């Protein structure tokens, strides 16, 4: 089950019963989304502010089901409940994207940097012309990416990236809320993936993954672009480890076991746990 607890009380705000098929929860993420049309909302759902962003708990289960829940109540936002894929797959990662298909942390960081530069330019202009005007902090118009000019608002989640062992898909948030299987982009993988993560390298977001057909087969390191899902790099992992004199294989067993031996930073650095508990760092540069 999924519970939301107010630590300041402390108090249990709500608790959600298991999702369809009672699969384990892969990830939970708090995002803000555009409010769905009234006809698409679940019965009894009320917005704090009509037209305002909805605080949402985005859930992904181990069998690649997606759900958008009202953070305040734990109820489904859409009237049709969870999005359940037609064919069962093992989910590896789930990440919300903004309207430009950027990772939300990336969109937020870039927005703040650009707004800081804009504020400096305005201050210089005011000093040069000696004009008086209300301080910029008193004005908070919205920008095109859903955040305010001072970066105080988080970007809206418009899409969801879901990576599984057999495919990579991008759903619109509207589809997730509606429980609709329609995809914005999809790519079946030629070799099953055993691990995946998102990254931001060379000015663009992407997906880094490890592919392995059988447990005894060599591991392949792959990098895909976003949102096009083009295969940018595909090389044996041993080639990347050449010179380290280390032979690395993912732990046999569940995805959870593999995830404990591999991690990645958002900027494209992989960290592997070696057979003798040594740490191996790789840089992804497609």
Mean pLDDT by 10 residues, the chain (286 residues): 82 74 84 90 77 90 93 90 90 95 77 44 46 45 47 81 97 96 96 94 90 88 95 90 77 78 89 84 78
Query: What's the confidence (pLDDT) of residue 5?
Result: 85
Query: What's the confidence (pLDDT) of residue 145?
Result: 52
Q: Is residue 54 part of a domain?
A: no
Residue 277 DSSP one-character state: S
Q: What angle do CA 83, 157, 198 make, to 5 degrees?
A: 85
Q: Is residue 151 part of a domain?
A: yes
Query: What's the confidence (pLDDT) of residue 88?
Result: 84
Contact 31, 61 (CB under 8 A): no
Q: Is residue 242 part of a domain?
A: no
Q: Is residue 95 part of a domain?
A: no
Q: Is residue 138 part of a domain?
A: yes
Query: What's the confidence (pLDDT) of residue 109?
Result: 61
User: How many separate domains does the chain show?
Assistant: 1
* Closest to 17 measured CA to CA, from 89, 93, 92, 69: 69
Q: Is residue 94 part of a domain?
A: no
Site of tokens 């202009």: 125
* Closest to 148 measured CA to CA, from 123, 117, 112, 122: 112
Query: What's the confidence (pLDDT) of residue 22?
Result: 64
Q: Is residue 60 part of a domain?
A: no
Query: What's the confidence (pLDDT) of residue 153?
Result: 67
Q: Is residue 145 part of a domain?
A: yes
| Domain of residue 108, residue span | 100-155
């Amino acid at each position: 089950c999924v519970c939301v607890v107010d630590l300041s009380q402390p108090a249990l705000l709500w608790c959600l019963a298991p999702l369809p098929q009672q699969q384990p929860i892969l990830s939970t993420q708090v995002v803000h989304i555009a409010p769905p049309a009234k006809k698409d909302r679940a019965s009894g759902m009320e917005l704090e502010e009509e037209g305002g962003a909805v605080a949402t708990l985005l859930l992904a289960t181990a069998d690649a089901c997606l759900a958008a829940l009202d953070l305040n109540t734990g109820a489904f936002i859409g009237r049709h409940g969870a999005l359940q894929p037609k064919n069962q797959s093992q989910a590896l990662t789930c990440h919300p994207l903004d309207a430009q298909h950027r990772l939300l942390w990336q969109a937020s960081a870039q927005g703040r940097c650009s707004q800081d530069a804009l504020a400096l330019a305005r201050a210089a202009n005011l000093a040069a012309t000696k004009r008086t005007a209300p301080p910029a902090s008193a004005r908070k118009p919205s920008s095109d990416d859903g955040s305010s000019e001072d970066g105080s608002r988080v970007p809206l989640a418009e899409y969801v990236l879901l990576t599984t062992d057999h495919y990579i898909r991008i759903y619109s948030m509207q589809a997730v809320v509606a429980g609709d299987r329609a995809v914005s982009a999809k790519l079946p993988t030629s070799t099953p993936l055993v691990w995946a993560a998102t990254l931001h390298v060379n000015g663009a977001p992407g997906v880094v993954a490890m592919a392995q057909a059988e447990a005894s087969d060599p591991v392949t390191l792959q990098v895909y672009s976003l949102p096009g899902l083009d295969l940018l790099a595909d090389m044996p992992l041993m080639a990347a480890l050449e010179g380290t004199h280390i032979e690395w294989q993912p732990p046999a067993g569940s995805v959870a076991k593999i995830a404990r031996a591999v991690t990645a930073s958002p900027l494209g650095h992989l960290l592997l746990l070696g057979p003798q508990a040594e740490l191996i760092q790789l840089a992804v540069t497609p």
